[in-house]
Amino acid sequence: MEEFRDATEKKIEAKYSKLLDKQNYAEKEINQSIQLLSKELEKLKYELSDVIDQKFEHITRNLEGQTKRLRQTYDELCEHLTSTSKELTKSFKDKSHALKAMCATFFAKIEEQVDENNTNVYNIKKSHDEFESNFVNPAKEVDAKVFAMTQKIENGELAREAQFSVLKDTIRQLVSALET
């Protein structure tokens, strides 16, 4: 039995030794695989880093290009707005000057017409005074007609002078508003 036991122990030790050898062999293979994987991971890490750097540089270049185009567009728009503003200001000044000239001409014509109307009214009054003085004893009916005519003429003249004053004040206000 002891022989059997010794034989069994030798077999067990031999199998144990084979098992340890296999375990050591498997550990070596695993370590080699881990080292290869570590090297591959390191290589992959550098490759990914390069790809990320390239993408970042590409995005940065695109962003810089777009920023440059936006700056150019902005500058062009600013320049266009400035020139348009200058043109509008010049146009406004020219039209304002033309409007002032028209108003001045209009006032001159109105002033001339008022002077002419005043002269006509004066002549009509003078004629009326002469007409009145030529009649020594006018009849009541003629007297009433002359009085009515005189009143109409005076009322019409007063109304025209009032209208002219209002028109003159309104246009002066317009001119002063345009000057400011």
**AA identity, residue 19:** L
Rounded to an integer, what distance in angstroms lies between the CA atom of residue 139 and that of residue 133? 13
In three-state secondary structure terms, 71 is helix
The model's pLDDT over 32-51, given as tens digits with 9 standing for 90+, comes to: 999 999 999 999 999 999 99
Q: Are 119 and 141 in contact (CB under 8 A)?
A: no
Q: Are 167 and 88 in contact (CB under 8 A)?
A: no
Residue appearing with tokens 């003249």? 157
User: Domain limits of the chain?
Assistant: 2-179
Q: Does the predicted model carry a pTM greater than 0.85? A: no
- Please list the alpha-helical segments (H only) found in the chain: 2-134, 140-179
The model's pLDDT over 135-150, given as tens digits with 9 standing for 90+, comes to: 555 566 777 788 888 8
In three-state secondary structure terms, 139 is coil
